[in-house]
């Protein structure tokens, strides 16, 4: 991260979804600061700060140099990839892998990422049976990971030979439930990608800040 004069400003919390954007900013070599809004999911000062830039009170939120506040992880990752194409976060327009990338990125957010919202707060969606609801969501999440495992190639990265933001997503999300031990057993190709992203020199500090030695 850079000094307080950085051009980009990220609202996030260690270990949460903001890590996806933090890693992308680092890979793109864009200057940024992070405003920690840990506790945003409950009434309080952190939530109030987040509400000022996102009425949904969700992270990540990235404030661009011109003051525009962007929410939604996929939109932010696409914006960074287009702003800094040299970072290699997404295939270029016209590349035959571009549609594959776009499909998988939106699938991640719409299908897989959504299960974390439901499982983390089951009482919001099924107040009469929160534990049963959480178990069903977790089962669905595991099925989605297995689905992707069957579709990903044995190549070094999610799209084959070239690194992309999808690999950042795999690495970050592998830290979340059901966790890496499960992924190594059930989704070994995805687990291998996650472990390789761990070792990317520019990203190692990001994982340490967000997940410690996990």
Give pLDDT tens digits for 63-108: 999 999 999 999 999 999 999 999 999 999 999 999 999 999 999 9
Q: Enumerate the CATH 3.40.30.10 domain ranges in the chain, comma separated.
A: 8-89
Q: What percent of the chain has pLDDT over 70?
A: 96
Q: What is the Cα–Cα distance from 82 to 68, expressed in whole angstroms? A: 16
Choose the most confident range, by mean pLDDT, from 146-155, 185-194, 205-214.
Answer: 185-194
Give pLDDT tens digits for 192-211: 999 999 999 999 999 999 99
Question: In the predicted model, is pLDDT for residue 22 greater than 60?
Answer: yes
Give pLDDT tens digits for 121-134: 999 899 999 999 99
Residue-averaged pLDDT of the chain: 94
CATH of 8-89, one of 1.10.3720.10, 1.10.760.10, 3.50.50.60, 3.40.30.10: 3.40.30.10
Q: Enumerate the CATH 1.20.1050 domain ranges in the chain, comma separated.
A: 98-204
Do 55 and 40 contact (CB within 8 A), yes or no? no
Q: Which residues of 114-139 are buried (b: 16+ CB within 10 A; e: fewer)?
A: ebbebbeebeeeeeeeeeebbebbbe
Specify the CATH architecture of the domain 98-204.
Answer: Up-down Bundle (1.20)
């Amino acid at each position: 991260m850079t000094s307080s004069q950085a051009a980009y400003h990220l609202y996030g919390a260690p270990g949460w979804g903001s890590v996806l954007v933090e890693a992308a900013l680092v890979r793109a070599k864009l200057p940024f600061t992070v405003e920690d809004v840990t506790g945003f999911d409950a009434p309080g000062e952190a939530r109030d700060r987040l509400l000022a830039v996102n009425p949904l009170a969700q992270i990540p939120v990235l404030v661009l140099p011109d003051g525009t506040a962007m929410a939604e992880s996929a939109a932010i990752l696409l914006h960074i990839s287009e702003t800094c194409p040299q970072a290699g976060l997404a295939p270029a327009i016209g590349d035959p892998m571009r549609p594959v990338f776009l499909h998988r990125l939106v699938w991640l957010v719409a299908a897989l990422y959504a299960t974390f919202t439901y499982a983390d707060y089951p009482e919001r969606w099924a107040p009469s049976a929160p534990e049963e609801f959480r178990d069903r969501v977790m089962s669905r999440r595991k099925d989605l990971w297995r689905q992707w495992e069957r579709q990903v190639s044995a190549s070094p990265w999610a799209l084959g030979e070239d690194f992309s933001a999808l690999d950042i997503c795999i690495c970050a999300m592998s830290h979340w439930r059901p966790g890496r031990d499960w992924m190594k057993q059930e989704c070994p190709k995805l687990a291998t990608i996650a472990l390789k992203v761990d070792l990317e020199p520019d990203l190692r500090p990001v994982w340490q800040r967000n997940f410690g030695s996990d």
